[in-house]
Structure 1
Amino acid sequence: MARPGFPPRTPKGERVNVADAERMTGAERMADAERTEQSEPGPSGHDAAKPAGPLAGITVVSLEQAVAAPICTRTLGDFGARVIKVENPEGGDFARHYDDVVGGMAAHFVWVNRGKESVTLNLKDPAGMAVLHRLLDRADVMVSNLAPGATARLGIAPADLAVSHPELIAVEIDGYGPGGPLSHKRAYDLLAQAESGACAMTGFPGAPAKPGPPMADVCTGLYAALSVLALLCGKERGHGRGAAAVAVSLFDTMTELMGYQLTYTLHTGVDQQPVGMGSPAVAPYGAYRTADGQTVVLGTTNDREWRRFARDLLGRPDLADDERFRTTSGRVAHREFLDAEIADWCARHDLTQVQSDADAAGIGNARFNTPSEVIAHPHLMARDRWRRIDTPHGQVPALLPPPVIAGYEPPMGGVPALGQHTDALLTELGVTEDDIAVLRAQGAVAPTPR
């Protein structure tokens, strides 16, 4: 499945202890980075003593920015693929400049770009485009999430690549997908969530809200990565040959995630209303203040759980036996009454007691945590989920990706400086130092990073 070409990557992530993770904010984090031995961040991969990833030998070239395409390629890199990030010499991925809280780098960029190699190419310059095509000659996959129509204008749309690189999997991520009245529009995470109806289901009536994480971006990137994995598997098994084009849009992803709400409305004619921390489908299901000023989240998803909730947790067999609350639809119809009863009970008990009693009753529960509390979460520590990764400004903590594959740990490579690997990649392609200097002089690649 892999083509001969670029060599494998080498450095690896190191484990982080509890104290490391608790130093992840502000001045303490910056001071910690200064104390850390400076190491040259570079391509990431496994050392010879570690098993190769399932995508070892696969090369991905990505024209990416923001979150959707970067999370796609980072996911492929987590499985062992080599990821070459092609950036504009004039500033690169605009997510590099969202903020500067990670020792001068943007938090978004650090999150989704570890383990990649950055090469700067001016794709409007014929020499820069020629370098891209030489990279694609050795690649298995190209991913892009440029502005609508940009790849076609550059001559690297999937139809073009099917001719020039007939074995390449070409993935285009955009806002709305081809062939519709909105196809020409730019779209970002919030815009796709609003257009898909997701924001109408978040928050409260009259006060819509966007979910905190960039759900449209992340899930679109994951669907794109899933498509690549399926096509690579098909090629390996002999079910697919030649070029393959994949189009994944933020809007299509969000309408898929809205599947329950759209199905409900399609068959009832009713637009459900947002219920804050609750669910329009089940009740009780929400957040409640406890006697010690904390917040607990409690939920039931079926009739048996509700009876245990009422009898064993609240000590209210009358609620368990009340015909009004016997079914899920009945409890949803009386959500406000039940929430008031539960809130009254929680207000008379500390968080620890509520969670202990809920566990004993077999009722799902969680503590309402802030990001700073999650950083030091004992469950993450107990499961050894933190590592340290290289950046141009020293090492920083980072979480392992969610999949836990027996006998394999993702490479957790460094976060690249803009154009950090340009010279090395050009040298791999056989470009001489003199020719690299010429490319720089004519603006086809950026100046050497400082």
Structure 2
Amino acid sequence: MPGALAGLLVVALEQAVAAPLCTRQLADGGARVIKLERAGGETARHYDAAVHGTSAYFAWLNRGKESIVVDAKDAADRAMIERMVAKADVFIQNMAPGAAARLGLDAASLVARYPGIVAVDICGYGQETGAKDMRAYDMLVQAEAGICAVTGTQDAMAKVGVSIADIATGMNAHAAILEALIGKGRTGRGAAIEIAMFDAMADWMAVPLLHLEQAGRATGRHGLEHAGIYPYAAYACRDATLMISIQSPDEWRRFCAGVLGDAALADDPRFATNPDRVAHREVLGQIVGKVFAARTMAEASALLDRHRIAWGRVSQVADVAVHPALRRIAGEVGGKAFDVPRPAGRPAVLPSVIPPLDADGPALRREFAAE
């Protein structure tokens, strides 16, 4: 059965993670995605060779696309790109600041020429801000947006271990494109859209910012503990580590009586409310920690289940690979198979082939040749 986006043409001058994640989502939905790459291939092709000689990032983000090598500064290639764009429903680019505008491929210029197109500029920082010319990569934006300030332990900041700035940006771009396509269906007009990585991370920082600006309270770093809810933390059992979460007064009472074996603890003035427990997390953590340290993971999880307390294992990557909840889809690169996690909300079968560099170049040059 064709995807909901079947019949849409997407042209992408993209590299790395943010824009390719967005266009992979569009390809998964049935859109035709033409990936424009420079000679030698885009950045993510060369990060590693983990998947049958292809980068893990590239294998993750580029299934179901067509690849063509172009030189956007070459007059003939630039003219061919223009012919592609003239037929496209969506154009997306994440070039360095100012590069697309110099080529006339920025969103505003494209919508001026083709009022029905949905054109997206992915950038590091809002282009009307004082930071507009800063170059942006995932870890740099995590640091700049304060993510690292609230991640890690009291002794050391840390970045998040996956590319959340890129991923959030790609997801925002995908949602914005779908909204714009719905709008186009009603009005016939396209849209020029800017998606900034910093905006994506600043939005995710809303709670720490609200705590700071409205309550005068800085968000600390607590490792495997929630900054503002307790107990919502990891505890070591005899053979493994699990994480528990207490979200309501009823859960707290059940936890004290059934898991900790001390019903009176629920009314201890140090721990009666969540703010009280957060303020006295060190003392409470020692009490909870002793209970779990005396049990195996199986014993502790059974006890938590009995009293309807949410918990989860603190998994290693190897644990995730065999997790009973992990659903996979098949991929193919260079004729060789591999599996990746199945994206949320997607069917079990999706476009699977990762395009070799310029795999579709000759055919695309014929299709979009000058008439």
Per-residue CA deviation, residues 28-55 of structure 1 (Å, 9 max, x unaligned), is xxxxxxxxxxxxxxxxxxxxxxx21111
Q: Shift in Å at residue 156 of structure 1?
A: 1.2
Query: Any idea what SS the aligned residue of 2:96 has?
Result: coil
Pairing of 1:319-330 with structure 2 (within 5 A): 319-330=265-276
**Aligned 8 A contact 2:181 2:190 in 1:** no
Q: How does 1:16-27 map to 2 (within 5 A)?
A: none
CA RMSD, Structure 1 to Structure 2 (Å): 1.5
TM-score, normalised relative to structure 1: 0.80
Query: Residues of 1 paired with 2:80 and 2:334: CA distance?
Result: 25
Matching of residue 71 in structure 1 with residue 6 in structure 2: no
- What does residue 414 of structure 1 align with? 353
Secondary structure class of the residue paired with 1:278: coil
**Which residue of structure 1 lines up, in the alignment, with residue 278 of structure 2?**
332
SS of the aligned residue for 2:92 comes to strand
Is 1:363 paired with 2:320? Answer: no
Separation (CA, whole Å) in 1 of partners of 2:348 and 2:34: 21
1:365 Cα shift?
0.4
Number of the residue aligned with 1:145: 94
Structure 1 partner of 2:161 = 212
Contact 2:59 2:354 in 1 (8 A): yes
Partner of 1:192: 141
Structure-2 separation of matches of 1:420 and 1:252: 35
Structure 1 ranges of 4+ moved more than 3 A: none
Match of residue 8 from structure 1: none
> What are the residue-to-residue correspondences of 1:301-450 with 2, within 5 Å?
301-380=247-326, 385-392=327-334, 394-404=336-346, 409=348, 411-430=350-369
Q: Which residue of 2 aligns with 1:245?
A: 192
In structure 1, what is the Cα distance between the partners aligned to 2:282 and 2:29? 46
Considering Cα pairs closer than 8 Å and 6+ residues apart, tell me whether 1 or 2 has the greater RCO.
1
| Cα separation, 1, equivalents of 2:342 and 2:134 | 35
Inter-partner Cα distance in structure 2 for 1:403 and 1:155: 36
SS of 1:307's partner is helix
Q: Is the 8 A contact 2:6 2:31 kept in 1?
A: yes
The residue number in structure 2 matching 1:180 is: 129
Q: What's the counterpart of residue 135 of structure 1?
A: 84
Partner of 1:268: 215
**What is the CA–CA distance in structure 2 between the aligned matches of 1:347 and 1:155, rounded to whole Å?**
63
Q: Which runs of 5+ in 1 are unaligned?
A: 1-50, 433-450
| 8 Å contact from structure 2 (residues 184, 190) kept in 1 | no
Say yes or no: does 1:159 pair with 2:98: no
| Deviation of 1:216 (Å) | 0.7
Provide structure 2 residue ranges, at least 5 long, that are not aligned to the other structure: none
Shift of 1:321: 2.4
What CA distance in whole angstroms lies between the structure 1 residues aligned with 2:290 and 2:345?
40
- Report deviation, 1:198: 1.0
Deviation of 1:80 (Å): 1.3
How far the C-alpha of 1:376 sits from its partner, in A, is: 1.3
Distance in 2, Cα, partners of 1:421 & 1:217: 27
Provide the rounded CA distance (Å) in 1 between the counterparts of 2:61 and 2:7: 21
Q: Decide whether aligned partners of structure 1 residues 212 and 343 sit closer, same or farther in structure 2, where only a CA change above 3 A counts.
A: same
8 Å CA contact retained: 1:78, 1:401: no
- Are the equivalent residues in 1 in contact too, given 2:44–2:57 (CA < 8 A)? yes
Letter in 2 for 1:124: K
Q: Distance in 2 between matches of 1:291 and 1:206?
A: 26
Deviation at 1:159, TM superposition (A): 2.3
Would you say the 8 A contact 1:172–1:248 is kept in 2? yes
Separation of aligned partners in 2, 1:396 and 1:367: 26
Give TM-score, length-normalised by structure 2.
0.97
Determine the C-alpha separation between the residues in 1 that align with 2:368 and 2:136.
35
Q: Deviations over 1:323-356 (max 9, x none)?
A: 2211110010011111111111111100111111
Partner-residue secondary structure (3-state), 1:325? coil
Contact 1:151/1:157 (<8 A) preserved? yes
| Matched letter for residue 391 of structure 1 | V
Q: Tell me, what secondary structure is at the counterpart of 1:390?
A: strand
Name the counterpart of 1:231: 180
Three-state SS of the structure 2 residue aligned to 1:160 is helix
Q: Distance in 2 between matches of 1:80 and 1:316?
A: 56
| 2:12 partner SS | strand
- Where 1:204 maps in the other structure, the secondary structure is coil
**More deviation in 170-179 or 302-311?**
302-311
Q: CA separation in 2, counterparts of 1:323 and 1:100? A: 57
- Could you tell me which residue of structure 1 aligns to residue 11 of structure 2? 61
Displacement of 1:164 after TM fit?
2.6
What's the offset of the Cα at 1:322? 1.2
Q: Deviations over 1:200-250 (max 9, x none)?
A: 0000123000011111110111001000000111222x1x33331110111
- Which of 256, 259, 275 is residue 206 of structure 2 equivalent to? 259
